[in-house]
Structure 1
Protein backbone atom coordinates (compact mmCIF):
# COMPACT_ATOMS: atom_id res chain seq x y z
CA UNK A 1 0.00 0.00 0.00
CA UNK A 2 2.81 2.41 0.88
CA UNK A 3 4.27 2.34 -2.65
CA UNK A 4 1.00 3.49 -4.23
CA UNK A 5 2.18 7.03 -4.94
CA UNK A 6 2.78 8.21 -8.46
CA UNK A 7 0.95 11.36 -9.52
CA UNK A 8 0.12 12.78 -6.09
CA UNK A 9 3.69 13.30 -4.90
CA UNK A 10 4.68 16.65 -3.49
CA UNK A 11 7.62 18.55 -5.04
CA UNK A 12 9.70 17.39 -2.11
CA UNK A 13 8.94 13.70 -2.66
CA UNK A 14 9.31 13.88 -6.45
CA UNK A 15 12.94 14.92 -6.01
CA UNK A 16 13.71 11.54 -4.51
CA UNK A 17 13.60 9.88 -7.93
CA UNK A 18 12.52 6.28 -8.34
CA UNK A 19 13.11 5.05 -4.80
CA UNK A 20 9.74 3.86 -3.56
CA UNK A 21 11.10 3.64 -0.03
CA UNK A 22 11.63 7.38 0.24
CA UNK A 23 8.17 8.05 -1.15
CA UNK A 24 6.75 5.71 1.45
CA UNK A 25 8.59 7.57 4.21
CA UNK A 26 7.29 10.93 2.98
CA UNK A 27 3.77 9.58 2.72
CA UNK A 28 4.01 8.22 6.24
CA UNK A 29 4.92 11.72 7.42
CA UNK A 30 2.10 13.39 5.49
CA UNK A 31 -0.51 10.84 6.53
CA UNK A 32 0.80 10.28 10.05
CA UNK A 33 -2.61 10.39 11.72
CA UNK A 34 -4.14 8.10 9.12
CA UNK A 35 -1.30 5.63 9.56
CA UNK A 36 -1.64 5.61 13.37
CA UNK A 37 -5.31 4.73 12.97
CA UNK A 38 -4.68 1.99 10.42
CA UNK A 39 -5.23 -1.67 11.35
CA UNK A 40 -1.67 -2.56 10.31
CA UNK A 41 -0.14 0.11 12.56
CA UNK A 42 -2.25 -1.05 15.50
CA UNK A 43 -1.18 -4.65 14.93
CA UNK A 44 2.47 -3.55 14.62
CA UNK A 45 2.33 -1.70 17.95
CA UNK A 46 0.57 -4.64 19.62
CA UNK A 47 3.26 -7.03 18.36
CA UNK A 48 5.99 -4.68 19.62
CA UNK A 49 4.39 -4.68 23.07
CA UNK A 50 4.28 -8.47 22.92
CA UNK A 51 8.00 -8.85 22.14
CA UNK A 52 8.82 -6.10 24.68
CA UNK A 53 7.15 -8.25 27.36
CA UNK A 54 8.94 -11.32 26.01
CA UNK A 55 12.42 -9.76 26.08
CA UNK A 56 11.97 -8.65 29.69
CA UNK A 57 10.76 -12.13 30.68
CA UNK A 58 13.72 -13.73 28.87
CA UNK A 59 16.21 -11.69 30.95
CA UNK A 60 14.84 -13.29 34.12
CA UNK A 61 14.66 -16.76 32.56
CA UNK A 62 18.29 -16.61 31.40
CA UNK A 63 19.45 -16.06 34.98
CA UNK A 64 17.80 -19.35 36.01
CA UNK A 65 19.20 -21.15 32.95
CA UNK A 66 22.72 -19.90 33.64
CA UNK A 67 22.52 -21.10 37.25
CA UNK A 68 21.22 -24.51 36.14
CA UNK A 69 23.79 -25.07 33.36
CA UNK A 70 26.61 -27.56 33.90
CA UNK A 71 29.41 -26.39 31.61
CA UNK A 72 31.19 -23.04 31.78
CA UNK A 73 30.71 -22.63 28.01
CA UNK A 74 26.93 -22.73 28.33
CA UNK A 75 26.90 -20.58 31.46
CA UNK A 76 28.90 -17.93 29.59
CA UNK A 77 26.61 -18.18 26.56
CA UNK A 78 23.55 -17.55 28.74
CA UNK A 79 25.28 -14.67 30.52
CA UNK A 80 26.26 -13.08 27.20
CA UNK A 81 22.77 -13.50 25.84
CA UNK A 82 21.28 -11.89 28.93
CA UNK A 83 23.45 -8.80 28.39
CA UNK A 84 22.46 -8.79 24.72
CA UNK A 85 18.77 -9.11 25.62
CA UNK A 86 19.02 -6.01 27.81
CA UNK A 87 20.29 -4.17 24.73
CA UNK A 88 17.33 -5.52 22.77
CA UNK A 89 14.96 -4.07 25.38
CA UNK A 90 16.68 -0.70 25.06
CA UNK A 91 16.51 -0.93 21.26
CA UNK A 92 12.78 -1.68 21.39
CA UNK A 93 12.30 1.44 23.51
CA UNK A 94 13.96 3.43 20.71
CA UNK A 95 11.58 1.80 18.22
CA UNK A 96 8.56 2.88 20.27
CA UNK A 97 9.92 6.42 20.41
CA UNK A 98 10.50 6.53 16.63
CA UNK A 99 6.85 5.69 15.94
CA UNK A 100 5.62 8.04 18.68
CA UNK A 101 4.27 5.29 20.93
CA UNK A 102 4.79 4.61 24.62
CA UNK A 103 6.81 1.46 25.52
CA UNK A 104 4.35 -0.92 27.14
CA UNK A 105 4.33 -4.65 27.82
CA UNK A 106 1.55 -6.89 26.57
CA UNK A 107 1.50 -10.31 28.19
CA UNK A 108 2.89 -12.87 25.76
CA UNK A 109 1.43 -16.33 26.31
CA UNK A 110 3.81 -17.89 23.77
CA UNK A 111 7.00 -16.87 25.59
CA UNK A 112 5.47 -17.72 28.95
CA UNK A 113 4.86 -21.26 27.68
CA UNK A 114 8.37 -21.61 26.27
CA UNK A 115 9.92 -20.35 29.54
CA UNK A 116 7.74 -22.71 31.58
CA UNK A 117 8.96 -25.59 29.43
CA UNK A 118 12.54 -24.55 30.20
CA UNK A 119 11.78 -24.58 33.92
CA UNK A 120 10.35 -28.10 33.59
CA UNK A 121 13.58 -29.19 31.88
CA UNK A 122 15.59 -27.99 34.87
CA UNK A 123 13.34 -29.94 37.24
CA UNK A 124 13.36 -33.13 35.18
CA UNK A 125 17.11 -33.40 34.41
CA UNK A 126 19.94 -34.31 36.75
CA UNK A 127 21.98 -31.46 38.17
CA UNK A 128 25.54 -31.42 36.81
CA UNK A 129 24.69 -33.62 33.82
CA UNK A 130 25.42 -33.03 30.15
CA UNK A 131 21.89 -34.17 29.42
CA UNK A 132 20.64 -31.09 31.27
CA UNK A 133 22.91 -28.85 29.16
CA UNK A 134 21.75 -30.48 25.92
CA UNK A 135 18.12 -29.97 26.97
CA UNK A 136 18.75 -26.37 28.07
CA UNK A 137 20.25 -25.56 24.68
CA UNK A 138 17.10 -26.83 22.94
CA UNK A 139 14.95 -24.78 25.35
CA UNK A 140 17.05 -21.68 24.64
CA UNK A 141 16.81 -22.25 20.89
CA UNK A 142 13.02 -22.41 21.11
CA UNK A 143 13.20 -18.91 22.60
CA UNK A 144 15.54 -17.81 19.81
CA UNK A 145 13.29 -19.17 17.07
CA UNK A 146 10.29 -17.35 18.51
CA UNK A 147 12.28 -14.13 18.55
CA UNK A 148 13.66 -14.69 15.04
CA UNK A 149 10.16 -15.19 13.65
CA UNK A 150 8.87 -12.10 15.47
CA UNK A 151 11.69 -9.72 14.57
CA UNK A 152 11.79 -10.95 10.98
CA UNK A 153 8.09 -10.28 10.53
CA UNK A 154 8.16 -6.92 12.30
CA UNK A 155 11.13 -5.71 10.26
CA UNK A 156 9.25 -6.45 7.04
CA UNK A 157 6.15 -4.62 8.31
CA UNK A 158 8.32 -1.64 9.23
CA UNK A 159 9.70 -1.54 5.68
CA UNK A 160 6.17 -1.79 4.24
CA UNK A 161 5.01 1.16 6.35
CA UNK A 162 8.06 3.25 5.49
CA UNK A 163 9.64 3.13 8.95
CA UNK A 164 13.18 2.68 7.64
CA UNK A 165 15.02 3.55 10.88
CA UNK A 166 12.75 1.20 12.81
CA UNK A 167 13.38 -1.55 10.27
CA UNK A 168 17.16 -1.07 10.66
CA UNK A 169 16.92 -1.48 14.45
CA UNK A 170 14.70 -4.56 14.21
CA UNK A 171 16.96 -6.14 11.58
CA UNK A 172 20.00 -5.56 13.80
CA UNK A 173 18.28 -7.45 16.63
CA UNK A 174 17.18 -10.16 14.20
CA UNK A 175 20.79 -10.71 13.11
CA UNK A 176 21.94 -10.96 16.74
CA UNK A 177 19.23 -13.51 17.53
CA UNK A 178 20.28 -15.60 14.52
CA UNK A 179 23.92 -15.42 15.65
CA UNK A 180 22.98 -16.57 19.16
CA UNK A 181 21.01 -19.49 17.74
CA UNK A 182 24.02 -20.50 15.62
CA UNK A 183 26.39 -20.23 18.62
CA UNK A 184 24.14 -22.46 20.73
CA UNK A 185 24.19 -25.09 17.98
CA UNK A 186 28.00 -24.88 17.89
CA UNK A 187 28.24 -25.42 21.66
CA UNK A 188 25.89 -28.41 21.46
CA UNK A 189 27.64 -30.05 18.53
CA UNK A 190 31.20 -29.46 19.77
CA UNK A 191 30.93 -31.77 22.78
CA UNK A 192 27.77 -31.44 24.90
CA UNK A 193 25.50 -33.66 22.81
CA UNK A 194 28.19 -36.34 22.49
CA UNK A 195 28.95 -36.31 26.22
CA UNK A 196 25.24 -36.43 27.04
CA UNK A 197 24.89 -39.52 24.83
CA UNK A 198 27.54 -41.29 26.98
CA UNK A 199 25.58 -40.74 30.21
CA UNK A 200 23.47 -43.50 31.75
Structure 2
Protein backbone atom coordinates (compact mmCIF):
# COMPACT_ATOMS: atom_id res chain seq x y z
CA UNK A 1 0.00 0.00 0.00
CA UNK A 2 1.17 3.53 -0.73
CA UNK A 3 1.62 5.02 2.73
CA UNK A 4 1.72 8.63 1.57
CA UNK A 5 -0.93 10.48 3.60
CA UNK A 6 -4.17 11.17 1.80
CA UNK A 7 -5.24 14.73 1.18
CA UNK A 8 -6.49 16.25 4.37
CA UNK A 9 -10.14 15.56 3.68
CA UNK A 10 -10.48 13.50 6.82
CA UNK A 11 -11.80 16.11 9.19
CA UNK A 12 -14.19 16.10 12.09
CA UNK A 13 -17.52 15.06 10.60
CA UNK A 14 -19.45 12.41 12.47
CA UNK A 15 -18.73 9.86 9.72
CA UNK A 16 -15.01 10.57 9.81
CA UNK A 17 -14.96 10.29 13.59
CA UNK A 18 -16.75 6.97 13.28
CA UNK A 19 -14.06 5.69 10.91
CA UNK A 20 -11.30 6.68 13.32
CA UNK A 21 -13.01 5.14 16.33
CA UNK A 22 -13.82 1.89 14.52
CA UNK A 23 -10.27 1.66 13.20
CA UNK A 24 -8.86 2.11 16.70
CA UNK A 25 -11.06 -0.68 18.03
CA UNK A 26 -10.31 -2.94 15.06
CA UNK A 27 -6.59 -2.66 15.69
CA UNK A 28 -7.00 -3.48 19.38
CA UNK A 29 -9.28 -6.41 18.54
CA UNK A 30 -6.83 -7.92 16.06
CA UNK A 31 -4.00 -7.84 18.59
CA UNK A 32 -6.30 -9.22 21.29
CA UNK A 33 -7.51 -12.11 19.13
CA UNK A 34 -3.97 -12.91 17.96
CA UNK A 35 -2.99 -13.43 21.59
CA UNK A 36 -6.10 -15.51 22.26
CA UNK A 37 -5.46 -17.80 19.29
CA UNK A 38 -2.05 -18.73 20.69
CA UNK A 39 -3.70 -19.74 23.94
CA UNK A 40 -6.58 -21.79 22.56
CA UNK A 41 -4.15 -23.52 20.22
CA UNK A 42 -2.54 -25.09 23.27
CA UNK A 43 -5.90 -26.58 24.25
CA UNK A 44 -6.47 -28.23 20.85
CA UNK A 45 -5.89 -31.95 20.34
CA UNK A 46 -6.24 -32.16 16.57
CA UNK A 47 -3.14 -31.57 14.48
CA UNK A 48 -5.38 -30.12 11.76
CA UNK A 49 -6.91 -27.61 14.16
CA UNK A 50 -3.55 -26.58 15.57
CA UNK A 51 -2.20 -26.05 12.05
CA UNK A 52 -5.28 -24.04 11.08
CA UNK A 53 -4.92 -21.81 14.14
CA UNK A 54 -1.26 -21.27 13.32
CA UNK A 55 -2.27 -20.10 9.85
CA UNK A 56 -5.01 -17.87 11.22
CA UNK A 57 -2.60 -16.31 13.71
CA UNK A 58 -0.06 -15.60 10.94
CA UNK A 59 -2.77 -13.94 8.85
CA UNK A 60 -3.82 -11.73 11.75
CA UNK A 61 -0.24 -10.62 12.30
CA UNK A 62 -0.09 -9.62 8.63
CA UNK A 63 -3.44 -7.85 8.88
CA UNK A 64 -2.19 -5.87 11.88
CA UNK A 65 0.64 -4.56 9.71
CA UNK A 66 -1.89 -3.54 7.06
CA UNK A 67 -3.85 -1.60 9.67
CA UNK A 68 -0.69 0.19 10.74
CA UNK A 69 -0.16 1.19 7.11
CA UNK A 70 -3.70 2.55 7.03
CA UNK A 71 -2.93 4.71 10.05
CA UNK A 72 -0.01 6.20 8.13
CA UNK A 73 -2.12 6.76 5.01
CA UNK A 74 -4.66 8.70 7.06
CA UNK A 75 -1.83 10.95 8.19
CA UNK A 76 -3.12 11.10 11.74
CA UNK A 77 -1.79 9.81 15.03
CA UNK A 78 -4.59 7.41 15.81
CA UNK A 79 -4.86 6.12 19.34
CA UNK A 80 -5.71 2.50 20.06
CA UNK A 81 -9.10 2.04 21.66
CA UNK A 82 -10.06 -0.98 23.72
CA UNK A 83 -12.98 -2.88 22.17
CA UNK A 84 -15.43 -4.03 24.81
CA UNK A 85 -17.29 -6.18 22.29
CA UNK A 86 -14.11 -8.01 21.26
CA UNK A 87 -13.19 -8.50 24.90
CA UNK A 88 -16.66 -9.94 25.57
CA UNK A 89 -16.26 -12.40 22.69
CA UNK A 90 -12.89 -13.48 24.08
CA UNK A 91 -14.43 -14.08 27.49
CA UNK A 92 -17.26 -16.12 25.98
CA UNK A 93 -14.69 -18.21 24.13
CA UNK A 94 -12.81 -18.86 27.36
CA UNK A 95 -16.01 -20.05 29.01
CA UNK A 96 -17.02 -22.20 26.05
CA UNK A 97 -13.72 -24.07 26.00
CA UNK A 98 -13.35 -24.19 29.77
CA UNK A 99 -16.69 -26.02 29.99
CA UNK A 100 -15.38 -28.94 27.89
CA UNK A 101 -13.17 -31.85 28.92
CA UNK A 102 -9.49 -31.92 28.06
CA UNK A 103 -8.37 -34.25 25.26
CA UNK A 104 -11.93 -34.57 23.96
CA UNK A 105 -13.52 -34.19 20.56
CA UNK A 106 -15.99 -31.80 22.18
CA UNK A 107 -13.19 -29.44 23.17
CA UNK A 108 -11.79 -29.48 19.64
CA UNK A 109 -15.22 -28.69 18.23
CA UNK A 110 -15.53 -25.84 20.75
CA UNK A 111 -12.18 -24.50 19.56
CA UNK A 112 -13.33 -24.56 15.94
CA UNK A 113 -16.50 -22.71 16.92
CA UNK A 114 -14.42 -20.19 18.85
CA UNK A 115 -12.06 -19.48 15.96
CA UNK A 116 -15.04 -19.05 13.65
CA UNK A 117 -16.63 -16.60 16.09
CA UNK A 118 -13.50 -14.50 15.83
CA UNK A 119 -13.59 -14.55 12.04
CA UNK A 120 -17.29 -13.69 11.89
CA UNK A 121 -16.82 -10.73 14.23
CA UNK A 122 -13.79 -9.44 12.36
CA UNK A 123 -15.37 -9.89 8.93
CA UNK A 124 -18.31 -7.79 10.09
CA UNK A 125 -15.99 -5.16 11.53
CA UNK A 126 -14.00 -4.76 8.33
CA UNK A 127 -17.15 -4.87 6.23
CA UNK A 128 -18.36 -1.87 8.20
CA UNK A 129 -15.03 -0.07 7.83
CA UNK A 130 -15.16 -0.77 4.10
CA UNK A 131 -18.57 0.86 3.84
CA UNK A 132 -17.39 3.98 5.66
CA UNK A 133 -14.21 4.24 3.59
CA UNK A 134 -16.23 4.00 0.37
CA UNK A 135 -18.60 6.72 1.55
CA UNK A 136 -15.62 8.98 2.26
CA UNK A 137 -14.01 8.24 -1.10
CA UNK A 138 -10.93 6.61 0.44
CA UNK A 139 -10.43 4.05 -2.31
CA UNK A 140 -6.94 2.85 -1.30
CA UNK A 141 -8.01 2.25 2.28
CA UNK A 142 -11.24 0.63 1.08
CA UNK A 143 -9.19 -1.83 -0.98
CA UNK A 144 -7.23 -2.81 2.12
CA UNK A 145 -10.40 -3.35 4.14
CA UNK A 146 -11.81 -5.47 1.31
CA UNK A 147 -8.73 -7.66 1.31
CA UNK A 148 -8.80 -8.19 5.06
CA UNK A 149 -12.53 -8.94 5.05
CA UNK A 150 -12.12 -11.57 2.33
CA UNK A 151 -9.23 -13.16 4.22
CA UNK A 152 -11.43 -13.46 7.30
CA UNK A 153 -14.17 -15.14 5.28
CA UNK A 154 -11.68 -17.51 3.67
CA UNK A 155 -10.27 -18.46 7.08
CA UNK A 156 -13.79 -19.24 8.26
CA UNK A 157 -14.41 -21.49 5.26
CA UNK A 158 -11.23 -23.44 6.00
CA UNK A 159 -12.29 -23.98 9.61
CA UNK A 160 -15.74 -25.12 8.49
CA UNK A 161 -14.18 -27.93 6.46
CA UNK A 162 -11.87 -29.40 9.09
CA UNK A 163 -12.86 -33.12 9.30
CA UNK A 164 -14.09 -33.22 12.88
CA UNK A 165 -15.04 -36.89 12.68
CA UNK A 166 -11.43 -37.73 11.93
CA UNK A 167 -9.91 -35.63 14.70
CA UNK A 168 -6.72 -37.10 16.08
CA UNK A 169 -6.84 -37.10 19.87
CA UNK A 170 -3.10 -37.36 20.50
CA UNK A 171 -0.81 -34.51 21.43
CA UNK A 172 1.62 -35.18 18.58
CA UNK A 173 4.02 -32.40 17.74
CA UNK A 174 2.86 -30.43 14.71
CA UNK A 175 6.16 -28.65 14.33
CA UNK A 176 5.27 -25.92 16.83
CA UNK A 177 7.28 -26.02 20.06
CA UNK A 178 4.93 -24.84 22.80
CA UNK A 179 7.63 -24.80 25.46
CA UNK A 180 9.64 -22.26 23.52
CA UNK A 181 6.71 -19.93 22.89
CA UNK A 182 6.89 -16.59 24.65
CA UNK A 183 3.15 -16.07 24.99
CA UNK A 184 3.57 -13.68 27.92
CA UNK A 185 5.34 -10.98 25.94
CA UNK A 186 3.35 -7.72 26.19
CA UNK A 187 1.94 -6.17 23.05
CA UNK A 188 4.37 -3.86 21.30
CA UNK A 189 2.57 -1.25 19.23
CA UNK A 190 3.98 0.46 16.17
CA UNK A 191 5.84 3.57 17.25
CA UNK A 192 3.53 5.69 15.09
CA UNK A 193 0.56 4.59 17.19
CA UNK A 194 -0.27 5.89 20.62
CA UNK A 195 -2.00 3.59 23.09
CA UNK A 196 -4.78 5.39 24.92
CA UNK A 197 -3.66 4.02 28.26
CA UNK A 198 -0.55 2.16 29.39
CA UNK A 199 -2.86 0.34 31.79
CA UNK A 200 -4.47 -1.30 28.74
CA UNK A 201 -1.17 -2.86 27.77
CA UNK A 202 -0.06 -3.69 31.31
CA UNK A 203 -3.33 -5.46 32.12
CA UNK A 204 -3.39 -7.40 28.87
CA UNK A 205 -2.67 -10.76 30.46
CA UNK A 206 -5.28 -10.06 33.13
CA UNK A 207 -7.87 -9.66 30.36
CA UNK A 208 -6.67 -12.89 28.76
CA UNK A 209 -6.49 -15.23 31.75
CA UNK A 210 -7.45 -18.20 29.58
CA UNK A 211 -4.18 -20.02 30.20
CA UNK A 212 -4.74 -19.96 33.96
CA UNK A 213 -8.31 -21.19 33.58
CA UNK A 214 -7.36 -24.20 31.48
CA UNK A 215 -4.18 -25.06 33.34
CA UNK A 216 -2.28 -25.27 30.06
Q: TM-score, normalised by structure 1?
A: 0.77
Name which structure has the greater RCO, CA cutoff 8 Å, separation 6+.
2
Q: Does 1:117 align with 2:117?
A: no
How far the C-alpha of 1:77 sits from its partner, in A, is 0.7
In 2: Cα distance, 1:117 partner to 1:105 partner: 23
What residue in structure 1 maps to residue 164 of structure 2?
191
Q: Contact (CA 8 Å) 1:66, 1:75: kept in 2 or not? A: yes
**Equivalent runs, 1:170-181 vs 2, <5 Å:** 170-181=145-156
Q: CA RMSD in A?
A: 2.0
* Greater than 6 Å deviation, 4+ residue runs: 193-196
- When the two structures are aligned, how many residues end up with a matched partner? 164
Query: Relative to structure 2, which stretch is displaced further, 151-160 or 96-105?
Result: 96-105
Q: Which residue of 2 aligns with 1:129?
A: 104
Q: Distance in 1 between matches of 2:121 and 2:47?
A: 25
Give structure 2 stretches of 5+ with no counterpart: 1-5, 170-216
Distance in 2 (CA, whole Å) between partners of 1:52 and 1:103 is 10
Separation in structure 2 between the aligned mates of residue 111 and residue 117 of structure 1, nearest angstrom: 10
User: Where does residue 81 of structure 1 map in the other structure?
Assistant: 56
Decide whether aligned partners of structure 1 residues 58 and 192 sit closer, same or farther in structure 2, where only a CA change above 3 A counts.
farther
Return the match for 2:32 from 34, 57, 63: 57
State the shift of 1:119 in Å: 1.2
Contact persistence 1:50–1:105 (CA under 8 A): yes
Counterparts of 1:76 and 1:106 in 2: how far apart (Å)?
A: 30
Question: Secondary structure of 1:37's partner?
Answer: coil
Label 1:192 to 1:132 Cα distance change in 2 as closer, same or farther (>3 A): farther
Q: Distance in 1 between matches of 2:124 and 2:167?
A: 29
SS at 1:128 equivalent: coil
- Retained in 2: the 8 A contact 1:131–1:193? no
**Secondary structure class of the residue paired with 2:161:** helix
TM-score normalised over the length of structure 2: 0.71
Equivalent of residue 165 in structure 1, options 137, 140, 155: 140
For structure 1, which runs of at least 5 residues remain unmatched after alignment? 1-27
